Chain A
């Protein structure tokens, strides 16, 4: 593996930066995502920081069923992220459409109809511990692939 790839992988594993995108969620998962950053769960000790722009982010954390109005914009945000990038589908809505499956305003089937998803985290809403678990599993799989 080239040195630059090793450097990129190391910084990703040690400090994944996330961008949070609400694609039509009810906010239950959003407040649990923000909760993961607050003192009780404190993901910043793992190097995880919430960034403001897709150009700084490694992981796109998407909550909510994808509404049709948001689908194009979600795709644009994803395209603006630099490689390597990962997508986490948060909550039952991201995994499968959740309680909104069958509503005309959402894309049927959940997030993976619009973006390639790396990690699915179920729950309605997710627990912050589940989010941390998901990130850890993802980092472990990247580590294993890098070897």
Chain B
């Protein structure tokens, strides 16, 4: 029996409520739980967690895993951090938006779209974030095959005429 009772309870609760959608759950250490979550069920899982005290979505990390693109949702009740890893295939990456549960997550979802090219279903249109307006569309800096040196070599010099 692990010494981390609260964490084990949370892990067990999630596994019981969402069988099949929550897999590979692990209590890493005190106050840290990690698990894989199915993308389609994501808003439902987050809503259930929010009602149970995990009402702070700290941030979302996007990561290029190779065959898949990952979006890791770090949820916390400020004591325990539960990280839900959602994977989506690189060929057609898409995850549902969680704005209905966390309206403050708009910047995090825009970042997933801009930096990794994951389409977030239900994200309202608007100015891109965080990349510059003149950054080429279709290039995703956080993907492993995108190299800074190649991008910088393509850029025209910004040296302007002095008045």
Contact = CB atoms under 8 A, between A and B. Distances in A.
- Report if A and B associate in a common complex: yes
Interface of A: 67-69, 71, 75, 79, 102-105, 107-108, 113-116
The secondary structure that dominates the A interface is loop
B163 interface: yes
Nearest to A67: B132
B145 interface: no
Given A104-B141, A104-B148, A113-B157, A69 B132 contact: yes
Contact of A108 (B132, B152, B160): B152
Interface residues of B, number: 15
Contact of B158 (A103, A107, A116): A107
B132 A68 contact: yes
B148 A102 contact: yes
Interface of B: 131-135, 141, 148, 151-152, 157-160, 162-163
A113 B134 CA distance: 18
Contacts, number: 30
Given A68-B132, A79-B163, A107-B158, 4 more contacts: A68-B134, A104-B141, A104-B148, A104-B152
Contacts of A108: 152
Contacts of B152: 102, 104, 108
Nearest to A102: B148
Contacts of A69: 132-133
A131 B20 CA distance: 62
A144 B152 CA distance: 41
A113 B132 contact: no
B151 A71 contact: no
Nearest to A79: B163
A75 B132 contact: no
Contacts of B134: 68
A116 B162 contact: yes
20 contacts: A68-B132, A68-B135, A68-B158, A69-B132, A69-B133, A71-B158, A75-B160, A79-B163, A103-B148, A104-B148, A104-B152, A105-B131, A105-B132, A107-B158, A108-B152, A113-B158, A113-B159, A114-B159, A115-B160, A116-B162
A75 B151 CA distance: 23
